[in-house]
Structure 1
Amino acid sequence: MGHADVITWSQSIAGIDWHELEALYRAAPLGNKDAAGLQVVYGNSRYCCFAFDQGKLVGAGRALADGLDWSYVCDVAVLPSHQGTGVGKQIVATLVELSQGHRKIILYAVPGKEPFYRKFGFRRMLTAMAIFPDVQDAMARGYVTED
């Protein structure tokens, strides 16, 4: 099906079909995020990256950044039909490249995906902490520990 060499790329939110992005998040699967919410978070992100295969949205990602200190790469989503084709790799590479010049670039990976991000130079942080609305669910999914 889709391969990274026939993909067209955009870093602009102009013309994005937010309902198509909502469907992409569900299929990836990256959870249920509604179109209006996605428009807010992408609109507030310094860097965005979108991948299209013949006009169809097949991948997306974004980074929140302050222009100097830190950039946070988040929400990298690829349609299952295009996973393993290099689309996700190119999205992360683009967001990391756009984030160059920041003192640190961070992300948090889906448990088990750490080796994928390690290829880009990401290393495990020893002091990262998070507040989740449902801490038991976050523990069950492997995002946080008791301590």
Structure 2
Amino acid sequence: MPLTWTDSIDHIDWHELAALYLVAPLARKEPDDLRKAFANSMFRRFAFENGKLVAAGRVLADGVDVAYLCDVALLPSHQGQGLGKQIVGELLDLARGHKKIFLYSVPGKEGFYAGLGFRRMSTAMAIFEDQDAATARGYLARDDAS
């Protein structure tokens, strides 16, 4: 089935996008928060099949130095068919020219991103709203490297 692509947020159903993130599974994200996050992102891509949202992703970027690929999500029925590579590829093409492109992946998906050219960083650090939950889900190392 052919996909329809857009970067426009004008006609996005934010509740449908929130449902996509929940089943992908990435996380529970509120529709209003998604609207704000995508509106504040320099680049974004949405894929539709027969009018249904099947994939989304975005890039926060400053236009010169740093870009951050984030929130790439696909319906489970569309995973493993090359759509993830396609949406990440399109977002990377949009972010080309930045000196660095960062991401952090869902634990267990690092190999997918390594296959697209990303390499593990030895110095990346983060502060999460809920540090304990992020540690339990595998986003943060249990040992403190400070």
**Shorter-chain TM-score category?**
over 0.9
Matched, 1:27 2:13: no
Correspondent of 2:50 among 54, 58, 63: 54
Tell me how far apart the structure 1 counterparts of residues 21 and 97 of structure 2 sit (CA, whole Å).
29
Cα deviation, residue 52, structure 1: 0.5
Match of 1:109 in 2: 105
Distance (Å, rounded) in 2 between the aligned partners of 1:26 and 1:110: 13
Shift of 1:132: 1.3
Q: Find the partner of 2:125 among 124, 129, 136.
A: 129
Aligned positions, number? 143
The unaligned stretches of length 5 or more in structure 2 are none
- 1:83, 1:122 → 2: CA distance? 20
Equivalents in 1 of 2:45, 2:131: separation in Å?
30
Q: What secondary structure does 1:30 align onto?
A: coil
Cα displacement string for residues 87-138 of structure 1 (whole angstroms, at most 9, x for unaligned residues) = 1111111111100000000000111111100111100011010011222221
Distance 2:15 2:108 in 1: 29
Normalised by the length of structure 2, the TM-score is 0.94
CA distance, structure 1, for counterparts of residue 93 and residue 66 of structure 2: 13
Aligned-residue Cα RMSD (Å) equals: 1.0
Equivalent position amino acid for 1:135 in 2: Q
Alignment of 1:61-100 (within 5 A): 61-100=57-96
Where in structure 1 are there 5+ consecutive unaligned residues?
Answer: none
SS of equivalent to 2:123? coil
Q: Which has the higher contact order (CA 8 A, sep 6+)?
A: 1
* Percent of residue pairs bearing the same amino acid type: 59
Alignment of 1:33-44 (within 5 A): 33-44=29-40
Deviation per CA, 1:54-97: give whole Å up to 9, x if none.
11000000000000001000000101111112111111111111
Alpha-carbon contact 2:26-2:106 (below 8 Å) kept: no
